[in-house]
């Protein structure tokens, strides 16, 4: 089964449609599948539901898809670094489903593991809990959260082999392993593709069975917030 594609446009071919749900790895600008995101912006696909911790910055990462107004709804835990994100939300152009960060991570993990739902104490007594089933366990109230399954998962890894086994680098791992499991189709972009058998099995973070397509990307090492100390 061919998994390596020459570029992001080819890798995304026949996977996109209006109104689909896409899970995207990354945390801020760390570990984001930037080449795949840019390729989506060129397709014109619209009314996307995107599940990701946040939406990058105004002109990079998922901020590109916000700028082109291709995203109709974000499922996120943090939106504070993107002015266009806030503008669209406050103007009613963009729907947001807020999830506590750990809840969002577990929703992705549960979706990938075939778990329909789980109970958590996080969010009880807040707007997060409104409209959700409540149940007591050991004298403490929990709310029901559902597993998240996306039509497409996009991840960024450090190394891959031709089979699609992935290794992430340090904090760039973040949400990526969880995202990789929860998509019906998973496309990974990586910094380096090594020979089959070159990866140490115990070092692999995402097994190849989860990865359907793979590209080697060119990545821009941006700094999300630059702090200078005199």
Count: domains in the chain: 1
Q: Do residues 75 and 49 touch, judged by C-beta distance below 8 A?
A: yes
Give residue 113's pLDDT band: very low, low, confident or very high (50, 70, 90): very high
In-domain check, residue 85: yes
Candidate from 119-128, 179-188, 213-222 with smallest mean pLDDT? 213-222
Question: Would residue 222 count as lying in a domain?
Answer: no
Indicate whether 74 belongs to any domain. Answer: yes
Task: For 152, list phi and psi in degrees, rounded to 5.
Answer: -145, 140
Q: Tell the residue number behind the tokens 């266009």, with chain if given.
A: 84
What's the mean pLDDT in 197-210? 97
Query: Is a pLDDT exceeding 80 seen at residue 163?
Result: yes
- Is a pLDDT exceeding 80 seen at residue 6? yes
Kind of pairing between the strands at 71-76 and 95-98: parallel
Q: Is 230 contained in some domain?
A: no
What one-character DSSP code corresponds to residue 195? P
Where are the strands (E) in the chain, listed by range?
21-24, 48-51, 71-76, 95-98, 117-120, 134-137, 140-146, 150-161, 166-167, 183-194, 213-216
Q: Is residue 106 part of a domain?
A: yes
Task: Report if residue 72 sits inside a domain.
Answer: yes
Averaged confidence pLDDT in the chain:
95
Residue 212 sits in a domain whose CATH number is: 3.40.1080.10
Instruction: Give domain status of residue 142, yes or no.
Output: no
Helical H segments across the chain, by residue range: 8-12, 34-43, 63-67, 83-90, 101-113, 176-182
Q: Is this model's pTM higher than 0.85 or not?
A: yes
Whether the predicted pLDDT of 224 surpasses 90 = no
pLDDT of residue 115 exceeding 90: yes
> Parallel, antiparallel, or unpaired for β 21-24 and 150-161?
parallel
pLDDT of residue 91: 94
Q: What angle do CA 87, 173, 36 make, to 5 degrees?
A: 55
Is 128 within the bounds of a domain? no
**Structural domain that includes position 99:** 8-116+147-216
- Dihedral of alpha carbons 167, 175, 14, 67, sign: negative
Give residue 229's pLDDT band: very low, low, confident or very high (50, 70, 90).
confident
Contact yes or no for 17/150 (Cβ under 8 A) = no
pLDDT digits (tens, 9 = 90+) for 14-70: 999 999 999 999 998 999 999 999 999 999 999 999 999 999 888 899 999 999 999
Task: Give the closest residue to 154 by CA, choosing from 31, 28, 6.
Answer: 31
First-last CA distance in the chain: 55
Q: What is the pLDDT of residue 83?
A: 87
């Amino acid at each position: 089964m061919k998994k390596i594609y020459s570029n992001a446009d080819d890798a995304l071919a026949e996977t996109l449609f209006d109104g689909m749900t896409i899970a995207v790895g990354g945390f801020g600008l760390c570990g984001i599948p930037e080449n795949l995101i840019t390729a989506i912006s060129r397709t014109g696909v619209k009314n996307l539901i995107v599940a990701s911790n946040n939406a990058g910055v105004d002109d990079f990462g998922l901020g590109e898809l916000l700028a082109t107004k291709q995203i109709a709804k974000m499922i996120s835990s943090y939106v504070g670094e993107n002015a266009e994100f806030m503008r669209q939300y406050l103007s009613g152009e963009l729907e947001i489903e807020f999830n506590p960060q750990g809840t969002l991570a577990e929703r992705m993990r549960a979706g990938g593991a075939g778990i329909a739902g789980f109970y958590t104490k996080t969010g009880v007594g807040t707007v997060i809990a409104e409209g959700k089933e409540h149940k007591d366990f050991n004298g403490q109230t929990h709310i029901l959260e559902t597993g998240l399954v996306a039509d497409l998962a996009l991840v960024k890894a450090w190394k891959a082999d031709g089979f699609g086994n992935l290794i992430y680098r340090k904090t760039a791992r973040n949400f990526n392993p969880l995202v990789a499991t929860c998509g019906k189709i998973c496309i990974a972009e990586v910094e380096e593709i090594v020979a089959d058998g070159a990866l140490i099995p115990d070092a692999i973070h995402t097994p190849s069975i989860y990865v359907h397509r793979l590209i080697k990307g060119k990545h821009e090492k941006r700094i999300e917030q630059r702090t200078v100390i005199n």
